[in-house]
Amino acid sequence: MISIVDTHCHLDLEAFDEDRDRVFQRAVASGVHAMVLVGYNPERWNTTSILCSQHGFLRRTLGIHPNDADIWSDEMSAALRREIEHDRPVAIGEIGLDFYRSTENAPQQRRAFVAQLEIAAEFRLPVVIHQRAAEDEVINILADVRPHAGVMHCFTGNQTYAERCLDLGLYLGIGGVLTFPRSTEIRDAIATVPIDRLVLETDAPFLAPQIQRGKRNESSLLLAVLHGLATLKNASEIEVAVNTTKNAVDLFGEDILHAIHAGMEYE
């Protein structure tokens, strides 16, 4: 029996408002027995909290996304700490740097990123790292403020980048991009990474795998990523499922096991 964890998804977004329960049902029926919702700003702290209170197979992260870094302040730092203390998440994230469209607010992004790394260390929580067009700077900051555990979300780099992430003790989050025909460099990099350093994710509703590309992604489609990774590793899907699920537990803690058990019992 396949049992896997979607370690990064946004099932609280409006894209799922009309059929969220069916999305959950399809996920669990396909073997995705736990899903980690990413609370990336205060609005999403609220929506992820509500869903997690309703479904035992859901867990959440808390943080301020780099695209929301302009709201970071001492008051926001205090609010994040209060939220962590009120309802402890499995990780801080997604946090990081995103210079894809602009570097205009780069200093504020850096400030928010470093501060949240320090909060994660304070609470002994792993981090979920977002990086876009800021590869070197993200790696350098992580080397200076080294997290005790973390994952590079949506890994899309080359072998050198993969090695730099692994040297920092990070897991790599593998999603639908793995299945894109033009992702040759990414597949070449992931082929060299030990299976015990990989976790599965969808980033739903974004980045659907090739079989659904351009349409809404959802957690049940994680099976396509599992299949792609198993093919790449010349391993069985069961072997990859067992290993990546263990990695998710090692990364986020044993509370993920409780979520998996709840998912197995969900109807």
The pLDDT assigned to 82 comes to: 97
DSSP string, 119-168: HHHHTT--EEEEEES-HHHHHHHHHHS--SSEEESS----HHHHHHHHHT
Q: What is the pLDDT of residues 51-99, one digit of tens each?
A: 999 999 999 999 999 999 999 999 999 999 999 999 999 999 999 999 9
Q: What are phi and psi of 134, to 5 degrees?
A: -145, 35
What's residue 258's pLDDT? 97
| pLDDT tens string 92-122 | 999 999 999 889 999 999 999 999 999 999 9
Provide the CATH number for the domain around residue 243. 3.20.20.140
Q: Above 80 in pLDDT, residue 267?
A: no
Tens digits of per-residue pLDDT, 142-154?
A: 999 999 899 999 9
Q: What is the pLDDT of residues 192-251, one digit of tens each?
A: 999 999 999 999 999 999 999 999 999 999 999 999 999 999 999 999 999 999 999 999
Torsion angle of alpha carbons 19, 23, 24, 28, nearest 10°? 150
Domain housing 71? 4-265
- For residue 36, the cross-strand partners are 59
Burial grade of 210 (CB within 10 A; 0-12, 13-18, 19 or more): middle
**Phi/psi of residue 129, each to 5°?**
-100, 130
DSSP assignment letter at 214:
T
Q: What rounded mean pLDDT belongs to the chain?
A: 97
1 confidence band (pLDDT: 50, 70, 90): confident
Contact assessment for residue 173 and residue 204, using Cβ atoms and an 8 Å cutoff: no
Domain count, the chain: 1
